[in-house]
Structure 1
Amino acid sequence: MYESLLFIIYICIFLAGMAALRNGLFNLSGESLKKVLSKVTDAPWKGFLTGTIITGVLQSSSAVMVMTVGLVSVGSLSFSQTIGIILGSNIGSTVTTEFMTLSLDKWAIPGIIAGVGFCLIPHIMAKSFGTALIGLSAIFAAIGGFKMLAGPLSSLPLVDKLLISIENHLVLALITGIVVTAIIHSSSATIGIAMSFLAGAQISVYAGIAIMLGSNIGTCITGYMASIGSGPEAKFTAYAHIWLNVLGVLFFLPFIGSMESLTALLTTDKALQLAHASVLFNVITSVLVLPFSRQFAKMILFLHKG
């Protein structure tokens, strides 16, 4: 019971850290990024590059999706312009996954102290940098907590049974990734949790990749919720995000074993293998769809315009 409560607290710390990091970075560059996003032309590759860069800067594909849906709902972007942005945001999100593999939890407390110091400086840039630093430090503190609790949690009968089921049933691992991400609204947190169980050898990279794929579907709920109450074009944008990830996951499901073998050739670090698998999935999916972005937009309109 104590471990479960502590685990929930660390999840809250991770989500709060992501929010602080995102807010700090947005205050530093958000308005200029928003202007760039609103001026994306009809060329899908320009939206693709813009979505990749902005997501990499803000460390959140969900934030970029919410921003994109908002711009569509007020008429600053058309639905067709968002396809490239969506494709790029999926790639930009992998920056966070790769970043989480760094073992920096020992710098969490010094980072928070330094962040508070910057927040005390009466200047908006300093305060924004301090907020981002506090958020980043909280993320690494939470990841350290996940790793510490992976062993004790896996000894609990319910968790142990779930981990065994995930290991033996690919679909259950996929559903777990979807559900957990939909609940906590963060694919990064879900992948971070999977990495902690990987580090303790409670699950295999194979199961971790299945959870990661599920998290890419679960993260679509944020953009969909942002589209509720908006116009039809905003809803089309949310549907495009959902279809992109669902079709991508269905395409990659038979190749999870191949992804596991390929990433094992790149590194022996299991958490890094999962991060690399996330990069492979998002890059290949987005690059394959990019040349057909206009046809993809027409498919969304055909399926949902009624």
Structure 2
Amino acid sequence: MIVSILAPFTFGLSFFLFGMYAMRTGFQNLAGKKMEQWMGRFTRTPIHSFWMGLLSTFVLQSSSAVTVLTIGLTNAGIIRFSQTVGIILGTNLGTTVTTELIALKLESFAIPMLLIGVALWLMPRRNIRCTGLVVAGFGLIFLGIDTLKLMAAPLEQSETFRSLFLESSHSIGVGLLTGIIFTGLIHSGSATTVITMGLLSHNILSMETAIAIVLGANIGTCFTAIIASIGTNTASKQVAWCHTLFNVAGALAFLPILPQLSLVSAFLTSNPSMQIAHSQTIFNLVCSLVALPFTSQIASFIQWLIPDKRIPIKRS
């Protein structure tokens, strides 16, 4: 029983994470070198910063990667902390693009995409090879999803597992904590969401708990940024904690209305996986749009919360 659960979990998660890495590497080689220049130039206003955060997250396929890049640019003095709030709001919405694609259930294209990607990788031109990495990465992601599905059946038959989830299936607090911890351990909110989709499709989780796990995954992605900010300047620490506190505040604000969010998602689609994806999109879209007009106030609050401790030099 344990082997039938751990084997597909280990292989499926490995395929998924390696696919994310391959896709991110391909995108980075295609546009990543210009990303720092774009982020330095096109973050003059909160709206520009927001769109840059959204686009960067889609290209790099990781909100954590964009946040770490933002921390690096802030630490180097290329952009100011006040410019980063819009980027952070954009990254949260950018992560939903990957989730929506995953929810489309394109697993049947996994092997063809993997083969096409490998074929493109063997081509001599650099851009074609990088495109091949992106295509192969998508193929590995869908192969990982297909493999992760194999663990759902033994989990469903396990009395221990079922009793554990029966006790916590209606506890959104447990779901939130699960999402935070698991995402913090594997450094991938998308992987946490995929596993949650699989459990939900086999009725092992309730919709409210599944959504709570996904909200927890949003918070869990902040661990990488916090680690990256260690040893950096105050502005970089402000970026990391702004991202963290924003996600925590958003999750806490939505916890009381998870049943309503579940109903809205169910109205949009009857597919459980798509309901999870739509819930995450609605959550991030609402949080970002509500906060976007107040980016300067948010920046001021974070600067008050984490002040620059440098002693100003007195001029004679």
**Aligned counterparts of 1:118 and 1:79: Cα–Cα separation in 2:** 40
1:156 shift after superposition? 2.9
**Aligned counterparts of 2:238 and 2:259: Cα–Cα separation in 1:** 33
**Aligned counterparts of 1:147 and 1:132: Cα–Cα separation in 2:** 23
> Of residues 130, 135, 151 in structure 1, which corresponds to 2:132?
130
Q: Is the 8 A contact 1:42 1:80 kept in 2?
A: no
1:148 shift after superposition? 2.6
Q: Which has the larger radius of gyration?
A: 2
Paired amino acid for 1:7 = F
Instruction: State percent identity of aligned pairs.
Output: 39
**Aligned counterparts of 1:124 and 1:159: Cα–Cα separation in 2:** 48
Larger deviation, residues 32-41 vs 132-141 = 32-41
Q: Is the 8 A contact 2:189 2:221 kept in 1?
A: yes
User: Is the aligned partner of 1:150 residue 2:156?
Assistant: no
SS at 2:169 equivalent: helix
> Of residues 234, 241, 260 in structure 2, which corresponds to 1:258?
260
1:40 shift after superposition? 3.0
> Of residues 157, 162, 165 in structure 2, which corresponds to 1:163?
165
1:157 shift after superposition? 4.1
Q: Is the 8 A contact 1:40 1:81 kept in 2?
A: no
**Aligned counterparts of 2:167 and 2:30: Cα–Cα separation in 1:** 44
Larger deviation, residues 142-151 vs 277-286 = 142-151
1:63 shift after superposition? 1.5
User: Is the aligned partner of 1:293 residue 2:306?
Assistant: no
Q: Is the 8 A contact 1:147 1:199 kept in 2?
A: no
Paired amino acid for 1:32 = K
Root mean square deviation, CA, Å: 1.3
**Aligned counterparts of 2:288 and 2:191: Cα–Cα separation in 1:** 22
**Aligned counterparts of 2:103 and 2:10: Cα–Cα separation in 1:** 21
Paired amino acid for 2:134 = A
**Aligned counterparts of 2:8 and 2:58: Cα–Cα separation in 1:** 30
SS at 1:28 equivalent: helix
1:170 shift after superposition? 1.4
Paired amino acid for 1:35 = Q
Larger deviation, residues 146-155 vs 274-283 = 146-155
1:220 shift after superposition? 0.5
User: Is the aligned partner of 1:269 residue 2:271?
Assistant: yes
> Of residues 54, 64, 67 in structure 2, which corresponds to 1:65?
67
**Aligned counterparts of 1:7 and 1:122: Cα–Cα separation in 2:** 36
Q: Which runs of 5+ in 1 are unaligned?
A: none
**Aligned counterparts of 1:93 and 1:73: Cα–Cα separation in 2:** 24
Q: Is the 8 A contact 2:17 2:191 kept in 1?
A: yes
**Aligned counterparts of 2:60 and 2:67: Cα–Cα separation in 1:** 11
Q: Which runs of 5+ in 2 are unaligned?
A: 310-316
> Of residues 245, 256, 265 in structure 2, which corresponds to 1:243?
245
Partner residue in 1 for 2:194: 192
> Of residues 94, 100, 103 in structure 2, which corresponds to 1:101?
103
Partner residue in 1 for 2:79: 77
Partner residue in 2 for 1:120: 122
**Aligned counterparts of 2:210 and 2:15: Cα–Cα separation in 1:** 22
**Aligned counterparts of 2:231 and 2:156: Cα–Cα separation in 1:** 42
**Aligned counterparts of 2:85 and 2:159: Cα–Cα separation in 1:** 44
Q: Is the 8 A contact 2:11 2:147 kept in 1?
A: no
The number of equivalent residue pairs is 306
**Aligned counterparts of 2:43 and 2:273: Cα–Cα separation in 1:** 38
Paired amino acid for 1:263 = S
Q: Is the 8 A contact 1:59 1:95 kept in 2?
A: no
TM-score scaled to structure 2, two decimals? 0.93
Partner residue in 2 for 1:181: 183
**Aligned counterparts of 1:5 and 1:216: Cα–Cα separation in 2:** 26
TM-score scaled to structure 1, two decimals? 0.96
Larger deviation, residues 81-90 vs 37-46 = 37-46
1:158 shift after superposition? 4.2
